[in-house]
Amino acid sequence: MLRALTDGFLIAVVVTVLTLVITIPLAYVLARLPIPFKPLILMVFLLPQAFPQLPVFVNSTTLLYRVNLGGKFWGVVLIHMVGALVFAVWTMTAVFKSVPETLEEAAINLGASRFKSFYSVSLPLATPGIIASTLLVFLYSLDEFTGTLLVGSPFVLTLPVYMYRTSVGYELQVASISALMLMVPGILLLVLLERYMKSEYLSMFGRI
């Protein structure tokens, strides 16, 4: 169980970091710059949700095994990112669109570069939304079962896969403990997020 817990958390952390590295600049570009085919690009990230989950994972698993990533840590990371990028790109694009563009323009007029205006103006204002999206990605990866089972078995073990194996083997007490261990981090993170979002709102807009 300890191995499943540590592997699951490590995979979730890596998936979250990689998703943020890809999504934050991409979402900012989609929200701010007049690039061609923007709606089409956003629709591409919805394609995994346009089809039943199992066929998507089966085909992705076949591809990963062909490139020798089946049953490996990085194969599981990639299969998790297929789902994580879907809502991360959409939610973060909406977050950056909600930041008034006039604030960036004012910073640029005062001599700031585009990157400086992004780093000093847009990114701090978008931080609550980015944190919320980060939490969703982390919990999604932590709870992902189908892709992990198909790609990672039998070498990569996470808590959802461990719960499945113990329940199939009628080790119901172990499965129940695993389920509880899987629930606790999500509840704690949601409570921390709620408190952070409330404090951020009060610091930005004051008490009503």
Q: Are 131 and 193 in contact (CB under 8 A)?
A: yes
Q: Are 91 and 133 in contact (CB under 8 A)?
A: yes
Which sign does the torsion angle of CA 133, 135, 141, 146 carry? negative
Q: What are phi and psi for residue 130, nearest 5 degrees?
A: -65, -40
The whole-angstrom separation of Cα 145 and Cα 163 is: 10
pLDDT per residue, tens digit, the chain (208 aa), is 678 788 888 999 999 999 999 999 999 988 888 888 888 888 888 777 777 888 888 888 899 999 999 889 999 999 999 889 888 888 898 888 888 888 888 888 888 888 888 888 888 888 888 888 888 899 889 888 888 989 988 888 888 887 777 766 555 565 566 566 666 666 676 676 666 555 554 444 444 3
Q: Are 88 and 19 in contact (CB under 8 A)?
A: yes
What pLDDT is stored for residue 73 in this prediction?
93
The CA-CA-CA angle for residues 186, 187, 189, to 5°, reads: 65
**3 state SS of 159:** helix
Q: What is the DSSP letter of 46?
A: T
| Alpha-carbon distances, residue 181 vs 78, 94, 110, 186, 203 (angstroms) | 24, 33, 51, 9, 34
Query: For the domain 2-158, what is the CATH code?
Result: 1.10.3720.10
Amino acid in position 1: M
| Residue 139 CB burial class (10 angstroms; 0-12, 13-18, ≥19) | middle
